Amino acid sequence: MAFELPPLPYDYSALEPAIDTQTMQIHHDKHHAAYVTNLNNALQGLTQFNGMTIEDILRHITGVPENIRTAVRNNGGGHANHAMFWQIMKPNGGGEPTGALANAISSTFGSFDQFKTTFNDNGMKRFGSGWTWLVIDQQGKLQALSTANQDSPLMDGMFPIMGNDVWEHAYYLKYQNRRQEYLSAWWSVINWEEIARRFQQGMSAH
């Protein structure tokens, strides 16, 4: 049993111009693939993880043997984060959420625009590499936060609804040092149907 790299659900060029083709190729085929390979190497021979999803392993990260815990945290986090990332984007995406998710965002952040500002600010303030997130926290409330490296909100008992990758590998070829421009452009490829599905999933599991 081994984890597998999920295929990109659209063409490499599908998210142009927000995310360029070459970035998508390297990001999916090299970076995400490396997380999967390194995760499988770390877990090799450890039958207690057979049949567990990567999400379950991350939720119980403190139960992972200490000698491989950092490798699982980094590469398992990298695998889970990217598997979500490809799904919450789509060509001709963008716009605004609707229904229960839209209501929860407005009541938590004041408005959709204020949520966007907070989400992007968290991405800007994340020094070095990491992710900016919208999560369901331990109390079942929406919260915006960022994490370092490939750390997943799942490790803190939270459920990630959506997240943007602010590692330089996600944007540097097109945007170089202009992370803010990348963060702003990213909203044009958002798949709100998938994010609403994750919101329902997270709320019902709470």
Tell me the residue type at 107.
Answer: S
State the residue number with the nearest CB to Mn ion: 165
Task: Yes or no: say if 105 and 162 are a contact pair by the CB < 8 Å rule.
Answer: no
- Chain positions 113 to 152 lying near Mn ion, rule: CB under 5 A, are none
Segment interacting with Mn ion (CB under 5 A) among 94-102, 108-116, 127-135, 165-173: 165-173
Residues in CB range of 17: below 8 A, 6 or more apart: 185
Binding residue (CB under 5 A) for Mn ion from 165, 183, 185, 199: 165
Sheet holding 142-148, edge to edge: 142-148, 130-136, 159-165
Shortest distance, CB of residue 29 to Mn ion, whole angstroms?
A: 12
Tell me the residue type at 168.
Answer: E
DSSP-assigned beta bridge partners for residue 145: 133
Shortest distance, CB of residue 139 to Mn ion, whole angstroms?
A: 29
Of residues 25 and 138, the one with the C-beta less far from Mn ion: 25
Segment interacting with Mn ion (CB under 5 A) among 45-53, 86-94, 113-121, 162-170: 162-170
3-state SS class at 89: strand
- Binding residues for Mn ion, rule: CB under 5 A, are 165, 167
